[in-house]
């Protein structure tokens, strides 16, 4: 198994830059990470964002569960001033798994408790929560909905990888129905209702999610769909535009944000020696967003740039930039040292993946210097992530350092940095992919195991991880 991360110093990383022909920047003056910034007229006290990360630990009716509350108390106490609440489905059939949270009228009291507990934990550890923004990601899982895919376009690359029936392994074929224009339109009130409830229970913002090839992201790339939601740029962005406009009109004080793929990329599969290789891809590639159709391993940012500009004029005031598809191409979104169970060994040096994240986000942030953006891809850098974040912010390449897996391992890493100048070395995410492995474990009585960090959050996850492993062993032996 390839092992890449052997760096003891920034000098080692800079030497690797030269070997790999990439351009990661590091700055040891971390003060900029603790400077404040304004988002939609609200002060945000530092430049750390906890990325949205599902714990798959909700109740079957969509309410947050005890582990959900625990996660946001820990994030609240951890010191980030921007907490981007996880994927929250806009209706029960829009979920990606049976334990994804769903905000609706009957469970809104529990979401109010979630906001209160997160803010309370923050206040107990810091003087004030006035400069903390806490929002919620509104999602429709589209192709990855549970129990059945809800697709908006036939994608020749993704259909053969999209499971319709777990017991038989059947996949989407050409007869699988597309969501109609009327079905898509009917989702607008669901987004508005979720946004209204989010505002009522105390969230500061909602994210109209357009990433990771879930529904609105698939629509952005649906060049082969006919009708008013497919084909041209205007049509492909129409549903998101309608949703954003409707929320703006109906819940005017709620801050609007989006997490958007800047580049979808193409699916990979296990090749010889378990190393990932791109699936066979007829050129020009039919669908996809931010892709160069004749060279789909390369990004083409003209449409994402245009769309960000339009969204800004529709009232979106914060954009979280991400890439790829966690099911079809895990090395893109989450550069890793150890692959997830349904993945493959990284086909590129993971630092090349980190560099891709930073370069693409940098181009977008430089295009819109007055629109705050959150960057992705930092966790792979382990203890060096703050230095890369400081350099990227200072160079105008991003406004916020987004923390995914690193914050599951060490939710208080910002506090650690503020108090000691370094992260706690004993709890640094080493990109083992346990968290993703837990997300993929379905063999639970409720249909989904919770996801967290077994190596560094033993209290909550080590027993759950043991159970998952036992079940998998039993299955193999049968």
Ligand X SMILES: Cc1cc2nc3c(=O)[nH]c(=O)nc-3n(C[C@H](O)[C@H](O)[C@H](O)COP(=O)(O)O)c2cc1C
Task: State the minimum distance, in angstroms, from the CB of residue 408 to ligand X.
Answer: 7
Q: Residue 388's CB: how many other CB atoms inside 10 A? A: 25
420 Cβ contact partners less than 8 Å away, ≥ 6 residues apart: none
Task: Write out the binding residues for ligand X, residues 175-204 only, by CB under 6 A.
Answer: none
Identity of the residue, 380 or 387, whose beta carbon is nearer to ligand X in the bound complex: 380
Q: Which of 149, 339, 377, 411 binds ligand X (CB under 6 A)?
A: 377
Task: Write out the binding residues for ligand X, residues 244-283 only, by CB under 6 A.
Answer: 259
Residue 396 CB-density burial (10 A; 0-12 exposed, 13-18 middle, 19+ buried): exposed
Determine if residue 52 is left, alpha or beta; phi over 0 gives left, psi from -120 to 50 gives alpha, anything else beta.
beta
Q: Which of 344, 378, 384, 456 binds ligand X (CB under 6 A)?
A: 378
Judge contact between 100 and 54, C-beta under 8 A: yes
Query: What's the rounded Cα separation, in Å, for the pair 211 and 277?
Result: 22
- Show the tokens assigned to 37: 């910034």
Q: Which of 439, 441, 460, 464 binds ligand X (CB under 6 A)?
A: 439
Identity of the residue, 197 or 406, whose beta carbon is nearer to ligand X in the bound complex: 406
Task: State the minimum distance, in angstroms, from the CB of residue 316 to ligand X.
Answer: 16
Judge contact between 57 and 68, C-beta under 8 A: yes
By residue count, the chain amounts to: 478
Residues in contact with ligand X, shown as a per-residue x/- string from 393 to 422 under the rule CB under 6 A: ----------xxxx----------------
Task: Write out the binding residues for ligand X, residues 51-110 only, by CB under 6 A.
Answer: 51-54, 86-87
Residue 210 touching ligand X (CB under 6 A): no
Q: Which stretch binds ligand X (CB under 6 A): 27-35, 46-54, 168-176, 358-366?
A: 46-54
Strands 316-323 and 133-139: unpaired
Give 171's strand partners. Answer: 163
Q: Which stretch binds ligand X (CB under 6 A): 196-204, 298-306, 375-383, 389-397?
A: 375-383
Residue 147: is the preceding peptide bond cis (ω within 30°)?
yes
Judge contact between 449 and 464, C-beta under 8 A: yes
Q: Which of 119, 436, 449, 464 binds ligand X (CB under 6 A)?
A: 436
Judge contact between 321 and 373, C-beta under 8 A: yes
Angstrom CA distances, 369 to 38, 86, 363, 390, 419, stand at 13, 26, 10, 16, 30
Task: State the minimum distance, in angstroms, from the CB of residue 282 to ligand X.
Answer: 29
- The count of residues interacting with ligand X (CB under 6 A) is 26
Residues in contact with ligand X, shown as a per-residue x/- string from 121 to 140 under the rule CB under 6 A: ----------------x---
Residues in contact with ligand X, shown as a per-residue x/- string from 328 to 347 under the rule CB under 6 A: -----xx-------------
Contact residues toward ligand X (CB under 6 A) are 51-54, 86-87, 137, 211-212, 259, 322, 333-334, 376-380, 403-406, 435-436, 439, 451
């Amino acid at each position: 198994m390839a092992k890449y991360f052997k760096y003891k110093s920034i000098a080692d990383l800079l030497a690797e830059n030269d070997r790999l022909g990439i351009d990661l920047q590091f700055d040891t003056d971390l003060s900029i990470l603790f400077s404040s910034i304004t988002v939609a007229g609200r002060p945000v006290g530092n430049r750390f964002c906890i990325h949205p990360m599902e714990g798959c630990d909700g109740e079957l009716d969509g309410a947050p569960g005890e582990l959900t509350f625990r996660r946001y108390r820990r994030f609240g106490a951890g010191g980030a001033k921007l907490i981007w609440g996880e994927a929250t489905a806009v209706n029960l059939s829009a979920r990606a798994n049976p334990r994804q949270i769903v905000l609706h009228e009957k469970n809104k009291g529990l979401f109010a408790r979630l906001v209160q507990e997160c803010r309370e934990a923050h206040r107990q550890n810091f003087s004030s929560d006035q400069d903390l923004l806490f929002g919620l990601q509104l999602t429709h899982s589209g192709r990855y909905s549970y129990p059945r895919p809800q697709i908006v376009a036939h994608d020749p690359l993704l259909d053969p990888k999209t499971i319709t029936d777990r017991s038989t392994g059947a996949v989407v074929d050409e007869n699988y129905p597309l969501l109609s224009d009327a079905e898509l339109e009917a989702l607008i009130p669901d987004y508005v209702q979720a946004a209204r409830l989010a505002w009522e229970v105390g969230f500061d913002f909602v994210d109209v999610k357009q990433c990771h090839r879930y529904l609105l992201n698939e629509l952005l790339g649906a060049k082969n769909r006919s009708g008013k939601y497919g084909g041209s740029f205007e049509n492909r962005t129409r549903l998101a535009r309608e949703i954003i406009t409707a929320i703006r009109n109906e819940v005017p004080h709620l801050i609007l944000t989006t997490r958007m793929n800047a580049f979808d990329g193409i699916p990979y599969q296990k090749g010889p020696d378990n190393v990932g290789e791109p699936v066979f891809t007829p050129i020009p590639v039919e669908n996809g967003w931010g892709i160069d159709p004749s060279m789909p391993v390369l990004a083409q940012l003209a449409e994402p740039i245009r769309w960000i500009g339009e969204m800004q004029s529709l009232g979106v005031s914060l954009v979280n930039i991400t890439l790829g598809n966690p099911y079809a191409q895990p090395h893109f979104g989450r550069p890793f040292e150890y692959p997830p169970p349904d993945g493959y060994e990284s086909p590129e040096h993971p630092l090349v993946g980190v560099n891709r994240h930073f370069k693409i986000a940098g181009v977008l942030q430089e295009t819109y210097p007055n629109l705050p953006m959150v960057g992705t891809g930092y966790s792979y850098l382990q203890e060096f992530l703050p230095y890369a974040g400081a350099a990227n912010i200072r160079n105008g390449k991003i406004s916020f350092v987004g923390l995914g897996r690193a914050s599951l391992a060490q939710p208080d890493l910002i506090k650690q940095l503020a108090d000691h100048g370094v992260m706690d070395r004993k709890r640094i995410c080493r990109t083992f992919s346990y968290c993703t492995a837990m997300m993929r474990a379905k063999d639970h009585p409720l249909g989904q195991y919770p996801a967290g960090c077994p190596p560094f959050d033993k209290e909550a996850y080590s027993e759950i991880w043991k159970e998952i492993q036992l079940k998998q062993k039993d299955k193999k032996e049968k």
